[in-house]
Amino acid sequence: MIILTVEQAVEWMKVTQQKVSANKDLLTELDQAIGDGDHGINLDRGFREVVAKIDDVTYDSVADVLKSVAMTLMAKVGGASGPLYGTAFLKMATTMQGKEVDEVVFKEAVNKAVEGIKQRGKAAFGEKTLVDVWEQVANFLKEEPVEDWGALPEVCQATMEDTREMMATKGRASYLKERSKGHVDPGSMSSYYIFEALAEVRKS
């Protein structure tokens, strides 16, 4: 059974853009607390470009949509998160290439995305980065059948909240050492929006 169509993939990115843009200031405030204060600005710009691009083109496959998303994010977001999100979407696209996206393919795509961002960021679970949310999603998908994927936003939100009391050991926030505690990781929050958007699109 196909669980993500081309239209849903496009819609996924549009809803993500709406969430990121609506929460641009919040993401930026989080990054002001433990980084350089540009995460909301970077992602708002990036996902607006993503939507402008995918609205302009007709795609034959989900892989093609996500490949285009990856290229745009890599080119337009910058910072640490641009290459990391670019890698995540590119790995998903590569895994989906030539296939319809059923449950098995989607799980495998997220697994490959997690591998890719961990490698690229040299980060592991529990280091207070977006890896935390992505790996939690991969684990959730492994355990739960597609009928239960509606719980994905709650799972991501809980993981995002868990980053609050962590000490960052990767990225700019790691410069603050103990003082990085007490703030949610901005990349975990934007990743939460991405998967909240996915759940909403699959429901509608």
Residues in contact with ligand ADP by CB under 6 A are 31, 35-36, 38-39, 42, 79-81, 84, 121-123, 129-131, 170-172, 185-188
Minimum CB separation of residue 129 from ligand ADP in Å reads 3
Report the amino acid identity of residue 90.
L
The partner in contact with residue 86, picked from ligand ADP, Mg ion, none with C-beta cut-offs of 5 to 8 angstroms by kind, is none
- Where do contacts with Mg ion occur on this chain (CB under 5 A)? 31, 35-36, 38-39, 79
Minimum CB separation of residue 190 from Mg ion in Å reads 11
Minimum CB separation of residue 132 from Mg ion in Å reads 17
The partner in contact with residue 132, picked from ligand ADP, Mg ion, none with C-beta cut-offs of 5 to 8 angstroms by kind, is none
d(CA 96, CA 44): 26
The partner in contact with residue 163, picked from Mg ion, ligand ADP, none with C-beta cut-offs of 5 to 8 angstroms by kind, is none
d(CA 89, CA 115): 12
Q: Which is nearer to Mg ion, 31 or 44 (CB)?
A: 31
Q: Which is nearer to Mg ion, 41 or 167 (CB)?
A: 41
DSSP state for residue 182 in the 8-state scheme: T
The partner in contact with residue 81, picked from ligand ADP, Mg ion, none with C-beta cut-offs of 5 to 8 angstroms by kind, is ligand ADP
Cβ-in-10-Å burial (0-12, 13-18, 19+) of 55 comes to exposed
The partner in contact with residue 187, picked from Mg ion, ligand ADP, none with C-beta cut-offs of 5 to 8 angstroms by kind, is ligand ADP
Token digits for 155? 């799972």
Residues in the chain: 204
Report the first-to-last Cα separation within the chain, whole angstroms: 17
Report the amino acid identity of residue 13.
M
Q: Which is nearer to ligand ADP, 72 or 129 (CB)?
A: 129
Minimum CB separation of residue 86 from ligand ADP in Å reads 12
d(CA 204, CA 60): 21
* H or E element, residue 101: strand 101-102
